[in-house]
Amino acid sequence: MQDFVSYLRDRSGEISQLKKKGIKVIGYFPGNYMPEELIYASGAVPVCLIDGEKAAPANTALSVVPNIICSFARTLIGEMMTKENPYYAMLDMVVAPITCQHLKKVAEIWEYQEDIEVFKLGVPHQYYNDIELDYYTERLKALRDRLQAFTGNTITDERINQAIDTYNRMRGLFRKLSLIRRSYNSPISALDFIKLNHLSLCADPNDMIEMLESFYSKITNGHSDGNSDHPRILIVGPIIARGDYAILEIVQAAGGEIVIEEICEGLRYYWHDIEKSNDPLKSLAIGYLRDRLPCAFMRDSSKKRLHFILDLIRNFNVSGVIWHELLNCETYDAESFFFSQELGKRNIPFLVLESDCGMADVERLKNRVDAFIELIKGEIE
Ligand code: SF4
């Protein structure tokens, strides 16, 4: 992991050098409704805004929004206000996919508080037929046109298809890494997997692919399945922000092993590739809207996500599910009841936890996770 740590340490300096040479730096909100391929094909540097290590930015934002806005959305506002985080100080433009109500509010607040262009990327909140697909494709076209004008570079179909190839290679590597976590002797921990995923959201994709290929071959060389009696945990939730790793550490310290995640924001969605075609914008729309697992803000997403989660439970031999949501995230809070009922019917242990980015209340979470892991251990024995 040392190579990745050094790369991350140097990456903001590298982007800053690129910016001095006139290359644009374009930030976007997490959630996987913003195809990075488009920014990359424009010659700009895409940077996903996923930091959530400290509570301070979310607290700073309380001077402009109430605390009913979730702490991740407030972190975005606070980071922009303070600009202490180098990535925020470098942004030339931001793309804000219109997803949950809280992120929508962030885009509006940035527009009137900050001197930065915010492109609002309309995202249909349902997918039933071609109407939604056509709308999203049109919005991607508008984004492509804006990026062309902003960067001065022509975004040809060929460039988009090349970018799709590049990001497909990265998605494929994350898939492979994820699948080896089915092993009872996984050579990669949840924490490392998530840190790599986070790094990929600010790294140059070609550098990332090279590092991931080398990492994958190192960790799988001579690896064989083993035995472990640690309860195998699936984490479900709206977001894991970069640096906000306390929940992962708490589960590990309690003797649980997180073997897979179903997280809407903050992690790259890697379960399928984008299929190329003569109309690459349509391909992106199909891949990012129609074919992917819908986030919780999407209409009728709960049952689809339930089936996906049940498949993960089977394929990764999961022994318990931790539902980890942020305080005031009403979408996930409302869904937690449905999931607790459905998993309860199937006798799958289920724990709901709430916290804030930067987590002040670690002790309380620790006690609840300890008790949950003990309960699962009791069932396994
Ligand atoms: S945690 Fe919930 S409320 Fe906050 S940005 Fe994510 S989906 Fe929206």
Quick check: 53 pLDDT over 70? yes
pTM above 0.85, yes or no: yes
The full set of domains in the chain, from first to last, is 7-153 (3.40.50.11890)
Ligand 1 site, residue 280, Cβ cutoff 6 A: no
Task: Give SS3 for 57.
Answer: helix
Q: What is the pLDDT of residue 115?
A: 85
| Higher per-residue confidence, 5 vs 30 | 30
Residue whose tokens read 């897979």: 260
What would the pLDDT profile of 279-308 be if each residue is shown by its tens digit? 999 999 999 999 999 999 999 999 999 999
Look at ligand 1, atom 6, and give the residue with the nearest C-alpha.
238
Instruction: Output the pLDDT for position 139.
Output: 98
What average pLDDT does the segment 179-205 reach? 94
Q: Which one is predicted more confidently, 262 or 3?
A: 262
Kindly report the average pLDDT of the chain as a whole number.
94
Nearest to 126 by CA among 284, 243, 301, 266: 301
Q: How far apart are CA 95 and CA 46, in angstroms?
A: 10
Report which residue type is found at 111: E
Ligand 1 contact via 331 beta carbon (within 6 Å): yes
- Residue 80 CA, ligand 1 centroid: distance in Å: 18
* Beta-carbon count within 10 A of 206 CB: 12
At 312-345, the pLDDT tens digits run 999 999 999 999 999 999 999 999 999 999 999 9
Dihedral Cα 170, 175, 178, 180, nearest 10 deg: -110
Mutate to test the pocket of ligand 1, among 247, 267, 331, 356 (most ligand atoms within 8 A of CB): 331
Q: What mean pLDDT do residues 205-225 have?
A: 90
Contact of 100 with 297, CB cutoff 8 Å: yes
Asked whether 103 lines ligand 1 (CB < 6 A), one says yes
